Structure 1
Amino acid sequence: MQSCARVNNKKVTSGPLNEGDTSTAPAALTPDELNYYRRMVDNHLDSTLGRTRFNGSVLVAKNGQIVFEEYNGYIDPRTKRDSITSSTPFHLASVSKTFTGMAILRLWEEGKLNIDDPVQKYLPGFPLEGVTIRLLLNHRSGIPKYDHYMGEMGWDKHKMVSNQDVLDFLIANYKKIPIAQPNRGFSYSNTNYALLALIIESVSGVTYPVYMKKTFFDPLGMKDSYVFTLADTARYTPSFYYNNREYRFEFLDAVYGDKNIYSTVRDLLKWDQALQKDTFFKKSTLEQAYAGYSFEKPGTHNYGLGWRMYLLKNGKKLVYHNGWWHGNRTSFYRMTDENATIIALCNNDCRYVYKVKELADIFGDYMQTNNRYDDDDPAQPVARAEKPKRKSHSTARKKTTHRRSTARK
Structure 2
Amino acid sequence: MESVSAQLLPSTQRALLHRIAVAQSDGRAPSLVAAVQRQGQIVWSGSRSCVDDHAPDDNTQFRIGSLTKTFTAVLVLRLRDEGLLDLDDPLEKHLPGTGVGGVTLHQLLCHSAGLGAEAPAPWWERTPGTLRPELADVLGEQTRMHTPGQRYHYSNPGYTLLGALVEKVRGARWAEVLEHEILEPLGMHRTSLQPQAPHAGGWAVHPWADVMLPEPAEDLGLMAPAGQLWSTTGDLLRFADFLSRGDDRILSAASVKQMREPAAPTEAGDWEFSYGLGLQVVQRDGRTLFGHTGSLPGFLAALWISTEDDVTAAVLTNTTSGPVIGGVAADLVKTVAEAEPRIPEPWRPLPEVDPELLALTGPWYWGAHTNVLRLTSDGGLELQPLRGNGRGARFAARPDGTWIGLNGYYAGETLRVVRNGDGTVNHLDLGSFVFTREPYDPMAAVPGGVDEGGWRGLEV
Give the alignment's TM-score, normalised by structure 1.
0.70
Equivalence for 2:266: 295
Question: Is this contact kept in 1: 2:273–2:283, CA < 8 A?
Answer: yes
How many residues are paired up?
323
CA distance in 2, matches of 1:234, 1:62: 28
| Deviation beyond 6 Å, 4+ runs, structure 1 | 232-236
Question: Is this contact kept in 1: 2:35–2:233, CA < 8 A?
Answer: yes
3-state SS of paired residue (1:338) = coil
3-state SS of paired residue (2:163) = helix
> Do structure 1's residue 69 and structure 2's residue 39 form an aligned pair?
no
Equivalence for 1:3: none
What is the CA distance between 1:182 and its match in structure 2? 0.8
Say which is worse superposed, 273-282 or 248-257, in terms of deviation.
Answer: 248-257
Equivalence for 1:21: none
**1:157-192 Cα deviation digits (max 9, x unpaired):** 986347752x22367x54x44532211210011011
CA 1:30–1:332: 2 relative to 1, 3 Å: closer
CA distance in 1, matches of 2:246, 2:127: 46
Of the three residues 303, 313, 328, the one matched with 1:332 is 303
What is the CA distance between 1:287 and its match in structure 2? 2.5
Of the three residues 170, 185, 190, the one matched with 1:224 is 190
What is the CA distance between 1:84 and its match in structure 2? 2.8
**1:53-84 Cα deviation digits (max 9, x unpaired):** 3313111121122222123338xx7xx89753
Task: Determine what percentage of the aligned residue pairs are the same residue.
Answer: 24
> Do structure 1's residue 112 and structure 2's residue 112 form an aligned pair?
no
* Structure in which a larger fraction of residues adopt strand: 2
CA distance in 2, matches of 1:237, 1:46: 18
> Do structure 1's residue 189 and structure 2's residue 134 form an aligned pair?
no
Q: Which amino acid aligns with 2:174?
A: Y
Q: Which amino acid aligns with 1:289?
A: M
Q: Which amino acid aligns with 2:245?
A: K
CA distance in 1, matches of 2:132, 2:277: 20
Q: Which amino acid aligns with 2:37?
A: A
Q: Which has the larger radius of gyration?
A: 2
CA distance in 2, matches of 1:44, 1:158: 34
> Do structure 1's residue 42 and structure 2's residue 17 form an aligned pair?
yes
Equivalence for 1:160: 129
CA 1:358–1:317: 2 relative to 1, 3 Å: same
CA 1:164–1:338: 2 relative to 1, 3 Å: farther
3-state SS of paired residue (2:243) = helix
CA distance in 2, matches of 1:183, 1:295: 11
Matches within 5 A, 1:8-407: 29=5, 33-54=8-29, 55-73=31-49, 84-147=56-119, 149-151=120-122, 160-161=129-130, 165=134, 167-169=135-137, 174=141, 176-228=142-194, 237-242=200-205, 243-249=211-217, 255-280=223-248, 281-293=251-263, 294-298=265-269, 299-311=271-283, 316-349=287-320, 350-356=322-328, 357-364=330-337
Segments of structure 2 that go 5 or more residues without pairing to the other structure are 206-210, 339-460
**1:340-368 Cα deviation digits (max 9, x unpaired):** 11111111233342331222322447xxx
CA distance in 2, matches of 1:302, 1:64: 25
Question: Is this contact kept in 1: 2:21–2:48, CA < 8 A?
Answer: no
Segments of structure 1 that go 5 or more residues without pairing to the other structure are 1-26, 366-409
CA distance in 2, matches of 1:363, 1:236: 28
Q: Which amino acid aligns with 1:144?
A: G
What is the CA distance between 1:107 and its match in structure 2? 1.6
CA 1:53–1:362: 2 relative to 1, 3 Å: same
Equivalence for 1:375: none
CA distance in 2, matches of 1:112, 1:271: 24
CA distance in 1, matches of 2:131, 2:259: 27
Question: Is this contact kept in 2: 1:48–1:355, CA < 8 A?
Answer: no
Equivalence for 2:364: none
Question: Is this contact kept in 1: 2:60–2:199, CA < 8 A?
Answer: no
Q: Which amino acid aligns with 2:177?
A: Y
- Structure scoring higher RCO (CA < 8 A, sep ≥ 6) equals 1
CA distance in 2, matches of 1:224, 1:28: 30
Q: Which amino acid aligns with 2:12?
A: Y
CA distance in 2, matches of 1:259, 1:234: 19
CA 1:326–1:170: 2 relative to 1, 3 Å: closer
Q: Which amino acid aligns with 1:338?
A: D
What is the CA distance between 1:239 and its match in structure 2? 0.9
What is the CA distance between 1:145 and its match in structure 2? 2.6
CA 1:108–1:239: 2 relative to 1, 3 Å: same
3-state SS of paired residue (2:300) = strand
Say which is worse superposed, 238-247 or 299-308, in terms of deviation.
Answer: 238-247
CA 1:236–1:51: 2 relative to 1, 3 Å: closer
Give the alignment's TM-score, normalised by structure 2.
0.63
CA distance in 2, matches of 1:261, 1:251: 10
Q: Which amino acid aligns with 1:84?
A: P
Question: Is this contact kept in 2: 1:311–1:317, CA < 8 A?
Answer: yes
CA 1:86–1:335: 2 relative to 1, 3 Å: same
CA distance in 2, matches of 1:179, 1:128: 12
